Amino acid sequence: MINPTEVNSLIRLLDDPDAGIYEHVHDKLLGYGIEVITYLENAFEQAFDAIQQERIANLVHEIQFGALKDDLKLWVQSGSFDLLQGILIINRYQYPDLDEQKVINQIEAIKRDIWIQMMNQGSPKEQIKEINHVFYHIYGFRGNTSNHLDPQNSFLSQVLETKKGNQISLAIIYSIIAQKLDIPVYGVNLPKYFILAYVDESLQNDFEGGVLFYINAFNRGIIFGRRDVDIFLKQLNLKFDKQFYEPCSNTDIIKRVIRNLISAYENLGSAEKVAELNELLRILE
């Protein structure tokens, strides 16, 4: 149980010039975990000392990042079944105070609109045609071709707000919604391009893992076949590999999101963020 008087006394000592005292205060406050963040944020608003403000901001980030790592470990240990939960954890890296229920509600709203449109479910390709109509034409989702390296393309909350994202973020939203509608659409970890596969689970003993066709979520949900994947791999001078054709795990999807963020922040010269994101990658590996 937090003692507010003790916590506030410790916070006031954060600007102490004595390194030993600062370290002791820092470690003590860090030990309280996320419960102390409200006190730190209140103190930040009232602080006039630049050193104290910087130390408070750094401490808040340290606590939030620690909690994020713990949640990511738990997600992996529990089997990483829920892709939405996994991507929300990564979203908290940049947006720790985000109202996650708002994001869930946005996805549910898109799902509901697609479900209304699909009352008379047809063939797999007709189902995808209906999803595409709502996702791209009504909601206006599109690939961010003008600023592809922007890290915002990888944060779910931002993609839902701006309706612009990269290959993997659009594919994640698309597949989460499809799966909520019991439509078997899963991610495929193709090199340099993330795509989706429509899987007929009754055919999974086949070599192709039951994939009926592929979907390009970045290019307005266009449908294509295995031969197109063959041609793409040939252009990259890559040898055949089964994993390039079949659905990948949710862990692989989140790893790819983190790698995209690492590239984006390397491009911006944000060494601290790159180091932290590499920590998250190690948890998954």
Domain boundary among 48, 77, 106: 77
Residue whose C-alpha is closest to residue 190's, from 148, 234, 155, 233: 233
Q: What is the pLDDT of residue 131?
A: 96
Q: What is the pLDDT of residue 9?
A: 79
Q: What is the pLDDT of residue 203?
A: 67
Q: What is the pLDDT of residue 21?
A: 84
Q: What is the pLDDT of residue 41?
A: 83
Q: What is the pLDDT of residue 206?
A: 53
| Strand 164-165 versus strand 142-143 pairing type | parallel
Residues 204 and 263 in one domain: yes
Domain boundary among 24, 46, 77: 77
What is the 8-class DSSP label of residue 152?
G
Q: Which residues contact 116 (CB under 8 A, 6 or more apart)?
A: none
Q: What is the DSSP string of 214-241?
A: EEEGGGTTEEE-HHHHHHHHHHTT----
Cα–Cα distance, 154 to 280 (Å, whole number): 15
Residues 69 and 88 in one domain: no
Residues 175 and 159 in one domain: yes
Domain boundary among 44, 77, 110: 77
Q: Kindly report the CA angle at 241 between 235 and 243, in degrees rounded to 5?
A: 110
Q: Which residues, given as ranges, of the chain have pLDDT below 50?
A: 207
- Per-residue model confidence as pLDDT tens digits over 17-70: 888 888 888 888 888 888 888 888 887 778 777 888 888 888 899 999 999 999
Q: Which whole-number Å values give the CA distances from 25 to 45, 70, 80, 176, 259, in the listed order?
A: 19, 23, 36, 44, 35
Q: What is the pLDDT of residue 268?
A: 95
